[in-house]
Amino acid sequence: MLGLTTLTPMAAQPEEAEPEKPVEKRAVANPEELAPPSPVSLSESLPSVTDPQRAQELLHLDLRTAMGLVLEDTPSLKKITSRIRQAEYRVQEAFTAAYPTLDFSAQYSRVQPPISLPGGPIISPADNYQFTLTLRQAIFDFGRMKWNVLASKLSKRVIQEEYRAELNRLVMLVAQRYIEALLAQEQVSIAQDDLEAQLANLRTSQLLFKQGVAARFDVLRNSAAASQAQQILIEAETAESIAKARLLSLLNEPLDRRLQLDALPIRPPNAEMHLSDSKLKALEARPDLRSIRWAVEQAKAQIEVAETGNNPRLDLTNTTVNRNATGFSPETQNTTAVVLSIPLYDGGLTHWQKEQAVESVHQLTHDLEQAERDAVLQIDEVFHQLSDRWRAIAVAEDNVTQAEEALRVAVLRYENGISTNVELLESQAARARARFELARARGNYLLSRWSWWQATAGEYPTEVPMPEEIRERLDAEGLPDGDDAFSGEETNQKLGPLLPDREAPVLPIRGLPTRESVDGDLSPADNPEPK
């Protein structure tokens, strides 16, 4: 029986212990000293965004011009354009299977000892060289090149539809930000008018208080209402600056550049449109659905590509060899051969690749089915949203009319001493809210108009940059109108006046004095007027 013995080292005697050697600390190198970081260059478009001189210039835009400027110089479109070129290079790569190939190789070898017959000549000398030139030409590859080329072309078609989808997304994004900027601009104008009215009330109440006609409570309440109107104006101006900065960011302009936007006309919806026809046209024309359809076809082509893995090949080869003459081998030798290659067993590689391609087809088919359902639902929702928001505009207009009449009555009651200024302030606030809601209703309706255009993939509202191949195909296939949900009737309604370049006029309220008719001897605490 074997036993395990643990060996313990013996402690060194004091006189036998070696003196400790000082440990030298190794200096740790600074990575920045070994490889100093190179400065990362800024993008080429950044100087135009940060140019202070450019920010002072006034930029006058309408919606179509803004769309054209954005689509002309957008990184996302340039990226997809590069992907289209890359896909074209894959197509050319697939065609190279039919082209001949030419290879050259050089070899030097040394053999020790040299090989020779007993008492005879040397068969293989010590130093040997060999140059080989090989030409290969595919005669027939039994479908390999055909299906690879088809799969590459279908992949390129998928990217082309993605380009159109990106175009539609950018058009919708520009319209959305343009309308948001117009709406914010309209709200600033309304807030300015409301502030002017509140300041007029404040000045009147202060004048009446000095004359002993009004109570101090009226002055305090009007001062609070003016302060609240001033706060609303500040918030509206901030929202306007943010909305315009979002639009200027798309245009690659300085975010604080002065911007003047044209108003947008409002057209009523078309009551005679057949929704089912629009759904069918949209299902055929929408680029996101077309992209998935072509992806399904590309996946089917990949099944055929996988199946060709076990197909035979027929090639023609020509080999020319030049070497030093040895033994029975001549100095120059040329060999031409026809080679038939037949794969017998690859361990199941081709089978499982095919099964993966089949499952990819199933997945993309389900994606297409779900996308078509979502598209039909989106078109239906946007269509009903158009009708609802058009009716909302009519309701908002009625509310503005009623608020104007209520304000007129409140002014008359206040002038004749029938009511206090509380009723007048409430009427003015209701009028401002009604005007805000009317502007918001018009903006929402215009947003729905562009949502309808995106849902139905209609004709482009402006000239768009597009590869020639895509443009020719769209000219041949045609696109839906995109405006079939709207009638040709012109209305006087618009969203967004031009950017105001002067102070908003005082509201024409009868019986109230204007700013110029009141002596401004008020204390700073009682004067909420902004600087």
All structural domains of the chain, each given as residue ranges with its CATH number in brackets, are 67-114+124-459+469-512 (1.20.1600.10)
Q: Measured between alpha carbons, how far is 509 from 503 in angstroms, rounded to an integer?
A: 17
Give me the phi and psi of 131, to 5 degrees please.
-115, 130
**Six-digit token string for 113:** 């000892």
Distance CA 281, CA 293 (A): 15
Looking at the DSSP bridge assignments, the partners of residue 108 are 129
Task: Identify which of 303, 288, 275 has the alpha carbon closest to the alpha carbon of residue 368.
Answer: 288
Q: Is 421 exposed, middle or buried (0-12, 13-18, 19+ CB in 10 A)?
A: buried
Residue 48: both structure tokens together = 């135009």
Q: How far apart are CA 222 and CA 199, in angstroms?
A: 8
Long-range contacts of 61-66 (CB under 8 A, 24+ apart): 61/178, 61/259, 61/260, 61/261, 61/262, 62/261, 62/262, 63/174, 63/175, 63/178, 63/262, 63/264, 63/461, 64/461, 64/462, 65/462, 66/174, 66/178, 66/247, 66/250, 66/251
Q: Left if phi > 0, otherwise alpha if psi is -120 to 50, otherwise beta: which for 369?
A: alpha
Residue 500: which residues within 8 A CB-CB, separation 6 or more?
Answer: 188, 189, 192
Residue type, 271: A
Q: Are 303 and 287 in contact (CB under 8 A)?
A: no
User: What is the rounded distance in angstroms from the CA atom of residue 361 to the CA atom of residue 296?
Assistant: 6
Q: How far is 409 from 150, CA to CA, in rounded Å?
A: 77
Q: Which residues contact 437 (CB under 8 A, 6 or more apart)?
A: 396, 399
Q: In whole angstroms, what separates CA 434 from the centre of its chain?
A: 35
Determine the Cα angle at 284 with ends 280 and 287, to 5°.
Answer: 130
CA distance 145 to 474: 29
- The closest of 305, 301, 300, 311 to 353, measured between CA atoms, is 305
150: left (phi over 0), alpha (psi -120 to 50) or beta: alpha
By the 8 A CB rule, do 197 and 410 touch?
no
Read off φ and ψ for residue 62, nearest 5 degrees.
Answer: -115, 175
| CA-atom Rg of the chain in angstroms | 41
Residues in the chain: 531
Tokens representing residue 47 in the block? 């100087």
What is the dihedral sign for C-alpha 287, 168, 461, 373?
positive
Q: Tokens standing for 44?
A: 């080429």
Q: Do residues 54 and 48 touch, judged by C-beta distance below 8 A?
A: yes
Q: Which residues of the chain have pLDDT under 70?
A: 1-51, 119-120, 271-273, 327, 462, 465, 467, 477-531
Contact indicator for 260, 58 with CB cutoff of 8 Å: yes
Tokens 């004709």 -> residue = 459
Stated pTM of the model: 0.74
Residues 525, 418: Cα–Cα separation, whole Å: 30
Grouping H, G, I as helix, E, B as strand and the rest as coil, residue 507 is coil
Do residues 219 and 205 touch, judged by C-beta distance below 8 A? yes
Instruction: Quote the tokens at residue 283.
Output: 């299902």
**Full DSSP string of 11-33:** PPPTTTPPPPPPPPPPPPPPHHH
- Residue type for 82, please? S
Closest CA to 190 of 222, 225, 232: 232
- CA–CA dist 242, 224 (Å, integer): 27
Strand arrangement of the beta sheet that strand 332-341 belongs to = 101-110, 127-140, 313-323, 332-341
DSSP line for 373-418: HHHHHHHHHHHHHHHHHHHHHHHHHHHHHHHHHHHHHHHHHHHTTS
Map residue 327 onto helix, strand or coil: coil
Cα(196)–Cα(200) distance, integer angstroms:
6
